[in-house]
A and B are shown apart, each in its own frame.
Chain A
Amino acid sequence: MSRNKDQFRPETHPNDSFLLTTVVGSYPKPKWLNRAKELYQDPDHEFDEDDWQEAKDDAARLITDEHERAGLDVVVDGEMRRNEMVEFFAHRIEGYEFNGPVKVWGHNYFDKPSVVSEVEYDESWLVDEYEFTAAASDRPVKVPITGPYTLANWSFNEAYADDEQLAYDLADLVNEEIEKLVEAGARYIQIDEPALATTPDDHAIVGECLERIVADIPDEVRIGLHVCYGDYSRIYPEILEFPVDEFDLELANGDYEQLDVFKDPEFTKDLALGVTDAHVAEVESVEQIEDNIKKGLEVVPPEQLVVSPDCGVKLLPREVAYGKMANMVEAARNVEQDLDEGNIDIERGAPAPADD
């Protein structure tokens, strides 16, 4: 288990047990922010760069505050400044160019970038975002970063012999960015690698990327890895070898069908368990979320459990997203109290073979 979780325990935490509550990252943008973007992109309108910057600052403050009100122990700005998880970074990395939108499904497109020369670190990606959010909140701030494997895989590769080499070069850049974030005070970094779900056989490449990412990063900096919507049996237990403190996994969406995968062998990292579904626009009840949290206790002891939604919640209506956060925090506090009072008796580990 990781020993750097307790630094995020609030001084006023009400229970002995501590199930850290946080989010994966993205959050619905306020409608006025989208409207402001349209004005900014309209060449005939006088809404300028400064106005747009102010709008993004306001939105970041607003959502950070919304996370605080929901009671989250570790907050994010809801990624108010980011448009899309690959585009945002590709715009800031030397070596990328954009050629127009491509289809993902139906009429959903994204500006898939092309790597046309060796990637290089140019301007900082996230230090401004982190410093602003940290100043806007008294709580610890988590920084989500799209991982190098996903950055490589979801780009056109024109410059490298293979995607593996591109991913390693990008991992070195992520490492450079994390060093700057740590210097600025960040202590909680989450690497997002959704592409691993498409190509689970590449887990060794992701592992090597992570080795590069954490090189010379101090142990007290908590590093998480977020993976979603895949067949976890194809990457577990291999991922236990990854040099990270925490795995952030989507499991509520599949109704914990894949939970048993993580019971054998023993889950030796911290588990950030998805306890609310990011793609169902209904707020789960506190009781339902409590049950979901207890699923996590079948895999790890409370000291190793972190509580979060399945995935980024940006596609939900905002009031639904808020309801899920608030209920999630309430559920976590209730489970903590039950743990303190010795009311929870859950058998952990591999299920005993059926006796028939």
Chain B
Amino acid sequence: MTDYVSTTPGLFPLPDWAKDDLSDLKGHQKGDLISGDESEEITAAYTEAREEVIGVQEEAGLDRIVEGQLRWDDMLAHPLAVHDAVETRGIVRYYDNNNFYREPVVQGDLEFSGDVASELETAAELTDDSDDLQAVLPGPYSLADLATDDHYGDEADFLAATADFLAGEVDAFPDHETLFLLEPSLVESAPGDGQDERASEAIDTVANATDADVVVQPYWGSLEEKVYAHLLDADIDAVGFDFVANQDENVYNLQEYGATDAVSLGLADGQNTLVEDPEAIRDRVDWVYDQIPVTEFETVYLTTNTETFYLPAGKFEEKLAVLAEAADLAEVKAA
């Protein structure tokens, strides 16, 4: 029987009070963004906000609880933006969105940081059930793609170093049930010949650092065929599909190349305030099944297609409740 797991890719919007408080505490300029060694007051505000969004997820009934990545001012570039061997430069556009992050320029060896692990430690202490904890990281390909390399000097070396760095971070994580690796760059700036295989190997490196189930979530479209085929070679448990942005080509990949035993379906729109009906999400799961030859997946993760920091806080909370309810509906139907 299929296990339907409601979850999110993390990177939540801050609660509105925290937007105000942290604006006042940190400021609005480039130099005011998160540094990794923030003051006690700032840390306290984030701790309170983290506790709140963990409560929101538990109340909504989500099956996986994330830390929320509320400190990630630079979105998926965060793990490098706060790294000692990295200098942050100008503000650059975050994919094709009206959002911006500081360009991280790698200037030395990417050694162990522990920044994300310490966030996850505090989240682990706050969750009711440690079996629900889900870690979130940028995938190595996306993280390398968002950064500029001034140190390694070779695209393949830099990707491998990024993967080793992330693997080291994962190694320091507290026990977690699932690890989501977000890989929008696999769609947005698809790797070419050779680099596609190396992207898969890099993901393998990170995935092998944990015993948890690893979900690789590309978004803003579908993967090119070769990229998808290589990704299936990686030692991961599930590949994600952004069915909000693209249906036909995702279905094509599933039909032509098959899938991992588990899949992650991005069925709720992480970038639109229109709140879906839980029944509609459940129907979309059925629709996916109708398109493909497999009869059953071991696990189906139900999630928003993208991060959710694009949404106002109220709408974000509504989306979480919808995902939880949709997973319950799917379970009932499957039973």
Contact = CB atoms under 8 A, between A and B. Distances in A.
B241 interface: no
A45 interface: no
B16 A101 contact: yes
A102 B28 contact: no
A105 B91 contact: yes
Contacts of A114: 273-274
A7 to B, nearest CB: 36
A1 B274 CA distance: 45
B86 to A, nearest CB: 17
Contact of A107 (B27, B93, B96, B309): B27
Contact of B310 (A100, A102, A157): A102
Contact of A102 (B23, B27, B101, B312): B312
A106 B30 contact: yes
Contact of B16 (A100, A104, A153, A198): A100
B272 A157 contact: yes
A106 B28 contact: yes
A76 to B, nearest CB: 24
A100 B313 contact: yes
Contacts of A83: none
B312 A154 contact: no
B331 interface: no
A153 B272 CA distance: 12
Interface string B91-125: 10110111111000000000000000000000000
Contacts of A106: 26, 28-30, 32-33, 73
A199 interface: yes
Interface string A173-202: 000000000000000000000010011000
Interface in B4-33: 13-14, 16, 19, 22-23, 26-30, 32-33
Interface string B74-101: 0000000000000000010110111111
Contact of B96 (A99, A109, A198): A198
Contacts of B313: 100
B96 A102 contact: no
Contact of B23 (A107, A156, A158): A107
B242 to A, nearest CB: 17
A112 interface: yes
Interface string A86-113: 0000000000000111111111110010
Contact of A105 (B100, B271, B311, B312): B100
Which range holds the interface residue count of chain B?
Answer: 20 to 34
Nearest to A158: B274
Nearest to A154: B98
B93 A156 contact: no
Interface in A154-171: 154, 156-158
B154 to A, nearest CB: 27
Contact of A100 (B99, B309, B312): B312
Nearest to B18: A107
Contacts of B23: 107, 109
Contacts of B101: 105
Among A153, A158, A195, A199, which residue has the most Cβ atoms of chain B within 10 A? A158
B192 interface: no
B315 interface: yes
A107 B311 CA distance: 14
Nearest to A109: B19
A104 B98 contact: yes
Nearest to B14: A103
Contacts of B93: 198
A158 B30 CA distance: 32
Contacts of B91: 105
Contacts of A157: 272
Contact of B28 (A108, A153, A154, A199): A108
A105 B75 CA distance: 9
Contact of A198 (B27, B98, B314): B98
Q: Which of A100, A112, A154 has the most CB of B within 10 A?
A: A100
Interface in A114-166: 114, 153-154, 156-158
Contacts of A109: 19, 23
Contacts of A154: 98
B272 A99 contact: no
5 contacts: A101-B19, A102-B312, A105-B94, A107-B73, A198-B97
Given A102-B311, A105-B73, A195-B98, 12 more contacts: A100-B315, A101-B19, A102-B312, A103-B13, A103-B14, A104-B100, A106-B33, A107-B26, A107-B73, A114-B274, A198-B98, A199-B96
